[in-house]
């Protein structure tokens, strides 16, 4: 009887508490991106995922799709519960401080090391028009306008293959995630999330229509057609990524808004996995595989083994892993670590990346998130509401006061980055 109930459960009931595996999944998706980049960065080869899916996707893209499904689901919940300005403050705290420190570390730690290794000197590093200072300034506000620094990293396998200087190629996706955050803020501000959630479904269906149009227009060419190119002239903002990633985000958002009606069923999860595998082999992955993949991600979040639910609950290292993996892999590729083989290269990159991610979380991201409750209008009310004296008969603080203090002393719960 219990097994039968567990096999069929609404998403609202399954996610009623924080007892889920979203943290574990985010970390696995970040690791998938690292593994996906290992062949191009370490060996100058193609990601094997593209060949295994007939050019439709790759392992790293699967990881990014997973991030956007989870973000759509959890960030939309935040948008329905938190005032818009507070919501934007929370999102900024989660993304920007970690990014800014990563840019500084990349520009003023990684780049000098690379310069000394490649050129034997720091001469010209800081004076170049695309030097470290310009790198930080150009990328500080999410839209990545400069990937290289002073023409460095051209001696890596990736640099030799592409002829380009790239320190942190993974940052490209942040602008699309932030735009999705702003979309949620806009929908919340006009009351759509609370009073007209069906409009979010319409937006998702419109995205599905674009994907279907691409498939019907050129079925012999896997992937998107006809939607490439810059958006509004913004550097690094491509219309393909904007449409496709926003669609995946909206899939997660729709699941959140209709969580009380969406059923998580083990049989449906098996069918979804079959659809994902079939579409990666025979085509239509974006049209049919994306929704199936979104369902599978949410199912895994509540069906994975219980030990996975402890991962990321208190310490979320996934964001740090995502933004630091690429420069770590480039640096280790430059000094020759790939000569040890693919598995040792991946293992060493993982250890170094996790070390930086741990430092990022404890020294930057977590302290920033502690400011979630800050407000410019907030006043210290301790002088206005004096503490009640202990009751003479028992010498104990009244229960109501003790409960209030326990509430205010509890650290604010941290949310994922999305």
User: pLDDT by residue for the chain (418 residues), tens digit each?
Assistant: 334 445 578 888 888 777 889 999 999 999 999 999 999 999 998 887 777 888 888 888 999 999 999 999 999 999 999 999 999 999 999 999 999 999 999 999 999 999 999 999 999 999 999 999 999 999 999 989 999 999 999 999 999 999 999 999 999 999 999 999 999 999 999 999 999 999 999 999 999 999 998 888 866 555 544 444 455 455 566 777 889 999 999 999 999 999 999 999 999 999 999 999 999 988 899 999 999 999 999 999 999 998 988 887 889 999 999 999 999 999 999 999 999 999 999 999 999 999 999 999 999 999 999 998 887 765 544 444 444 444 444 333 333 333 333 333 333 333 334 4
User: With contact defined as beta carbons under 8 Å apart, do 284 and 215 qualify?
Assistant: yes
Please count the residues of the chain: 418
User: In this structure, what token pair is assigned to residue 82?
Assistant: 């938190």
| Contacts for 298 with CB less than 8 Å, ≥ 6 apart | 11, 69, 73, 252, 255, 264
Model-level pTM?
A: 0.84
| Token pair of 35 as six digits | 């593994």
């Amino acid at each position: 009887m219990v097994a039968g109930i567990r096999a069929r459960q609404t998403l609202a009931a399954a996610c009623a508490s924080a007892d889920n595996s979203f943290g574990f999944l985010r970390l696995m998706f970040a690791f998938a991106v690292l593994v996906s980049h290992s062949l191009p960065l370490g060996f100058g080869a193609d990601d094997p995922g593209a060949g295994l899916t007939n050019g439709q996707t790759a392992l790293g893209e699967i990881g990014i799709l997973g991030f956007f499904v989870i973000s759509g689901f959890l960030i939309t919940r935040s948008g329905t519960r938190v005032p818009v300005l507070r919501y934007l403050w929370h999102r900024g705290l989660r993304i920007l401080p970690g990014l800014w420190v990563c840019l500084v570390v990349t520009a003023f730690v990684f780049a000098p090391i690379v310069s000394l290794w490649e050129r034997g000197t720091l001469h010209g590093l800081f004076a170049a028009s695309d030097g470290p200072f310009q790198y930080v300034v150009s990328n500080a506000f999410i839209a990545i306008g400069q990937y290289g620094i002073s023409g460095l990293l051209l001696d890596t396998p990736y640099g030799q293959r592409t002829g380009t200087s790239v320190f942190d190629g993974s940052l490209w996706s942040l602008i699309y995630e932030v735009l999705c955050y702003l979309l949620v803020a806009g929908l919340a501000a006009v009351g759509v999330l609370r009073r007209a959630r069906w409009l979010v479904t319409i937006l998702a269906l419109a995205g599905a229509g674009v994907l279907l149009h691409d498939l019907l227009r050129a079925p012999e060419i896997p992937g998107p057609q006809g939607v490439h190119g810059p958006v509004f002239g913004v550097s690094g903002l491509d219309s393909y990524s904007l449409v496709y990633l926003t669609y995946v985000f909206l899939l997660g958002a729709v699941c959140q808004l209709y969580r009380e009606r969406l059923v998580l069923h083990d049989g449906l999860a098996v069918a979804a996995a079959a659809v994902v595998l079939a579409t990666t082999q025979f085509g239509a992955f974006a049209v049919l595989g994306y929704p199936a993949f979104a369902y599978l991600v949410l199912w895994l979040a509540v069906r994975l083994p219980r030990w996975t639910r402890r991962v990321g609950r208190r310490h979320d290292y996934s964001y740090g892993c995502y933004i630091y993996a690429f420069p770590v892999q480039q640096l280790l590729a430059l000094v020759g670590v790939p000569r040890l083989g693919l598995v040792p290269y991946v293992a060493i990159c993982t250890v170094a990346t996790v070390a930086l991610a741990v430092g990022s979380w404890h020294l930057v991201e977590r302290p920033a998130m502690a400011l979630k409750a800050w407000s410019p209008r907030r006043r210290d009310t301790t002088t206005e509401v004096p503490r009640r004296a202990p009751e003479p008969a028992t010498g104990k603080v009244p229960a109501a006061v003790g409960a209030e203090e326990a509430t205010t002393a509890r650290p604010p719960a941290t949310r994922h980055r999305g």
